[in-house]
Amino acid sequence: MTETPGVTVWTGSDGKIEIDASNTSKGYICVKYAGTADRVQVQVTNPDGSRNPYPLKIGSYEGIPLTGGNGDYSVQVLEHVSGKTYAIGLSQTFSVQLENEFTPYLYPNQYCDYKADDEAVKKGQKLSDQSVDDLDYIRNVYNFVISTIKYDDDLAANIPVNYLPDPDTTLGTKKGICLDYASLTTAMLRSQNIPSKLEVGYSGDVYHAWISVWTEETGWIDKAIRFDGKDWTLVDPTLGANNSAASVKKYVGDGDNYTLSYNY
């Protein structure tokens, strides 16, 4: 779980914004907003200049991952003013030296938010107890998600502004969009110490979310979380839940159909 030990904290001039950067070596910062804006966004600029936006839940510390590797970062906390206009409430630059490449992908964050006593974590623990190794656990999580969660066409047609998934909500309602499938799967994997990337971009010309995972046996496996005991099949949980194996394989091909925009 993310922590806020208060060793390194930056505060806005009016005290309504705080950034706890005590654990940058573990691949995350925590941001809290206690002001009056109706919407807040955290924008992280990575060492290579790319940017990751994070809608922020208001009122408590929330984890924000640092997925750009080692180097110099900048973070801006943006307060909604009106329309599409935001004002900078707090801006900070800092350097990051990660403990290892996996730490940003082992903690909860805004797109994969969970606590130790959440139902998604408990279900992950139960599946872990039934698994013989990491590969078996990944397969069991995948099969559980695609057999339990149904695609929510109504939500897909009316996605709220700055929509954030919630793994326990998805598990409780048993429905969701691609981001919900990916978030629940990632929460169950990370909570059992499986490094997992929640990735957002395009599948063909459709905005989409999928997952990449890492194990000691395989290293990073991009865009693939299905393992039949011998081979990995390129498939993501949303497609796997709604299509036949043959049609999914034909669609995703060798993975070139996916174009990455953001890495959470």
CB atoms within 10 A of CB 149: 23
Write the DSSP symbol of residue 149: P
Q: Which residue in 98, 97, 60, 58 sits closest to 78, CA to CA?
A: 58
Which pairs with CB-CB distance under 8 Å and at least 24 residues apart come from 144-149?
Answer: 144/188, 145/181, 145/184, 145/185, 145/188, 145/237, 145/241, 146/181, 146/237, 146/240, 146/241, 147/241, 148/174, 149/174, 149/175, 149/176, 149/180, 149/181, 149/184, 149/237, 149/241
Q: Using one digit for the tens of pLDDT, what is the confidence trace for 168-197?
A: 999 999 998 888 988 999 999 999 999 999
pLDDT at 56: 93
Name residues of the chain where pLDDT drops below 50.
Answer: 225-235, 239-240, 243-254
Q: Can you say whether residue 154 is alpha, beta or left, with left for phi > 0 and alpha for psi between -120 and 50 degrees? A: alpha
pLDDT at 226: 46
pLDDT at 246: 47
pLDDT at 250: 43
- State the greatest distance between any 2 C-alpha atoms of the chain, in Å, as a whole number: 57
